[in-house]
Amino acid sequence: MSLIDPRNAPILEYPEDHPSKRYVMTRFRFLEDYNGLHIPWEQRGGFSYDFEWYCPEDDRNWRISEFLYCYVWTHSVQDNWLTNPANATEYEVLSLKQIKEARAIRDYWEAAAENEPLALEIAIRTAELLDTWDTSIRLRLEQVGLDADALVE
């Protein structure tokens, strides 16, 4: 399975500093490094890793693998930039809400990972990924005259 959704192919032609391309490429590099890390694949010499932390925001324990499946794998197609509609898409509104939720959970992950170098590295890279995703959506909405914060209140 390709780590870049083929529907994003036109975005790869955008300039390097375009917010949507930055998100697609940040996500690609992230998944290239951490995809399936909890699975002891032969390609990694059988190495696997996962980390668990407690998040009082939703009163549950999370694992890196669960977080990535919930917040990273499910958001791959930048259709908002490909079609550039005049209004916010359902994807954009839902994504802004999920980014806010994911950041809160990730903050507890980072705090819990203080003495776990790999978990801390992944948490920091996750913050970068969430930031590029958020920026991509907010800038697209700004271009059509919409206030992202007003959409998710």
Quick: pLDDT tens for 124-147.
Answer: 999 999 999 999 999 999 999 999
Which of 29-38, 101-110, 125-134 is predicted least confidently? Answer: 29-38
Q: Does residue 10 lie in a domain region?
A: no
The pLDDT of 56-74, averaged and rounded, is 92
pLDDT for 75 equals 65
50 occurs within a structural domain: yes
Assess if residue 26 is contained within a domain: yes
Residue 8 within a domain: no
Element (H, E) at 55: strand 52-55
What's the domain range around 40?
16-151
Confidence class for position 39, pLDDT limits 50, 70, 90:
confident
Residue at 129 is within a domain? yes
Q: Tokens 């992950």 belong to which residue?
A: 109
* pLDDT reading at 36 higher than 90: no
| Coil/strand/helix, residue 62 | strand
**Parallel, antiparallel, or unpaired: how do β-strands 52-55 and 60-63 relate?**
antiparallel
| Number of compact structural domains in the chain | 1
Q: Tokens 């991509």 sit at which residue?
A: 136
Dihedral (Cα; 106, 109, 111, 116), 10-degree rounding: -130
For residues 47-70, average pLDDT: 94
Q: What are phi and psi of 88, to 5 degrees?
A: -70, 140
Q: Is residue 83 assigned to a domain? A: yes
**In this model, does residue 44 exceed pLDDT 80?**
no
Tokens matching residue 47: 């190495």
Check residue 60 and report its DSSP letter.
E
- Does 3 map to a domain? no
Give the mean model confidence (pLDDT) for residues 12-36: 90
Query: What's the average model confidence in pLDDT over 57-76?
Result: 89
Structural element, H or E, at residue 112? helix 90-112
Q: Is the pLDDT of residue 1 over 60?
A: no
In the beta sheet, which residues pair with residue 52? 63
Within a domain: residue 101? yes
Mean pLDDT of the chain: 90
